[in-house]
A and B are shown apart, each in its own frame.
Chain A
């Protein structure tokens, strides 16, 4: 059958309608799935309060000790002096000192253990997972191919990669998951002398943070807890007397990155319905064109006497 452009466009049109219909069906499916937007039932986390932190770095030392990190000794070979989170440091204290002389602040940085983490959403083989019970975001070496996509996606710049050696690993705070498993607290909150960082369930911590805000109106920036809803919510919560952006906590809005940006991807691929319909449509059109092309090749063969070329 001779294929006209009209016929081809017709079948493509029919396919497009099919694709649209299947994607509508799959929206339903995804709507049910994404009700996971809330923190796990027994979500645990940290509450850090900049007004209490004295910058003693006990938490940093404790973290290194518990996690068997040698420390970033690259500066003078003696002191652990990580300038930033890196493959030698899962937890650091930084100092924010504005040039205009206004109030300074320390800030503790470690994994935020997002409620809906972008790193987990992007991780191909589930090397990064969110514990369904306590919500800790952990890493499994045997599933990681070292693509470093987590470093690209994390809005807080947390996961780090070992850039040297044969067997590089992803390094990030896992909330001392081995200690949690035996009923202990994370190292950092255990040693904090000023109780600037405390450990608890997310519910307890949120209540405590709100109590502090209520007791000291105007003390904390925007009178709110960072992490309650930011970026879909986190399990590490922050109270700060300086603007959050100044201490490395970006303004992300209330939607998580996967929720905000991956919505349509999920719809397009759910149950592979759309790809299958698209494939079937294309094969139908290609088959017509292919028969036509074969016919043409045969004619050529008769005309020239040469073997047809596919």
Chain B
């Protein structure tokens, strides 16, 4: 189904409760139970982590890779607000919500992963910080981003809901919107500065591991490559989410916007690949890629996935083929996730003889936190105006839902006033 994305409309015609939602909630509740056990027993009995692989998938997958996917608000926002790609404003709400949920889910799990969470209050005390630590940068900047600019950017759909369904608060909503509009550029600026800082610092984390990260990955440009990968991962997550929602909920797809998203993703990947290869060439590391070992194989798997992704993106944009676009963005996401995952685990050299594979409990917790984000997204998309649609969908929504919304009521003092005037 093809149509123009003119206005964000709740997916009001599909019931909120579904089997998928129950499964996702179940997974989250299970994870929550396991987290309780982890807090009491310690990390050892629950996870496969050990002294050689001190970071398991909760950090290396849920934080390193999923916040990369959650960089849609950052990447698409930059295209829309810094580079004036006006059409992309239509998909901003989807981008911002996916970002917010990815960050919240990742950061909560980070709180579960650290061994001494009660000392995390130190993040509020700048005079006790180690200013040169990349980890401090992440620990300060990531929550700051999620709780301030990203949170504020996600407020408008909620305000809109209040405006429609709690008419008594309308004056308040108008006031809030006016204030927000005034300061919006300042907030949005932070929403690009902070992710640029912490997404690159996620790469800088592995810089301090020095020679323990295989030279095909270890480079002084690791921070740049990380934030750059976050850019195309963010795009692929937004485009993929929109396409998936359109298919699942039978919404029309705006192939012009999707084409633009796919093109930009393609260019960002190609530029990233060129940069990464040049870096390896200049530093004379290319021969390492032609040795026969697991690292070279891993390197080529990453490269091939991203090249295939770029080619598929280009072709699908040219053909305006939605199905192909979906596959292309999926491949992009996998390639990006691999790149961000590998230096922490697969291309990370611990002591010889060390082994790490996540335990079932560890995987269930990781999955549960992802499920939480997905579940909230589904509910939000059905209740709030997140997903873009043709304007006719808004008219349907007005007729079927908003018509039944409560009328504004005079407050008690207003009633008294009206009575006095009578």
Mark A residues whose CB is within 8 Å of B. 3-5, 8, 12, 84-87, 118, 120-127, 141-149, 151-153, 155, 157, 160-168, 250, 252, 257-258, 260-266, 269, 275, 278-279, 282-283, 285-287, 289-290, 292-294, 296, 304, 306-307, 309-310
Contact = CB atoms under 8 A, between A and B. Distances in A.
A310 B160 CA distance: 9
Given A126-B128, A152-B206, A165-B41, 19 more contacts: A3-B84, A8-B82, A118-B210, A121-B132, A122-B208, A124-B122, A124-B135, A125-B130, A142-B119, A143-B122, A145-B119, A152-B212, A157-B51, A161-B51, A163-B51, A252-B210, A261-B207, A285-B81, A286-B189
B130 A124 contact: yes
B122 A306 contact: no
A127 B84 CA distance: 45
Interface in B23-50: 39-45, 49-50
Given A118-B208, A151-B51, A286 B42 contact: no
B208 A262 contact: yes
B301 interface: no
15 contacts: A8-B82, A84-B51, A123-B130, A124-B136, A126-B128, A145-B117, A146-B114, A153-B210, A162-B115, A262-B204, A265-B223, A275-B197, A278-B193, A307-B163, A310-B184
Nearest to A167: B116
B68 to A, nearest CB: 19
Contacts of A126: 128-130
Contacts, number: 206
Given A8-B83, A286-B189, A309 B385 contact: yes
B120 interface: yes
A289 B128 contact: no
Contacts of B212: 152, 155
A285 B128 contact: no
Q: What 6 pairs between A and B have smallest CB-CB spacing?
A: A146-B115, A163-B44, A151-B54, A146-B116, A148-B54, A283-B189
A151 B139 CA distance: 17
Interface residues of B, number: 76
B134 to A, nearest CB: 6
Nearest to B45: A164
Interface of B: 7-8, 39-45, 49-52, 54-55, 80-84, 86, 89, 93, 113-117, 119-120, 122-123, 128-137, 139, 156, 160, 163, 177, 180-181, 184-186, 188-190, 192-193, 196-197, 201, 204-212, 220, 223, 350-351, 385, 391, 394
Contact of A163 (B42, B163, B210): B42
Contact of B42 (A166, A275, A283): A166
Given A262-B132, A289-B82, A164 B41 contact: yes
Given A84-B351, A148-B55, A293-B89, A168 B116 contact: yes
Contact of B122 (A8, A87, A145, A263): A145
Contacts of A146: 114-117, 119
A67 B210 CA distance: 31
A164 B122 CA distance: 24
B211 A252 contact: yes
A12 B78 CA distance: 12
Contacts of B177: 310
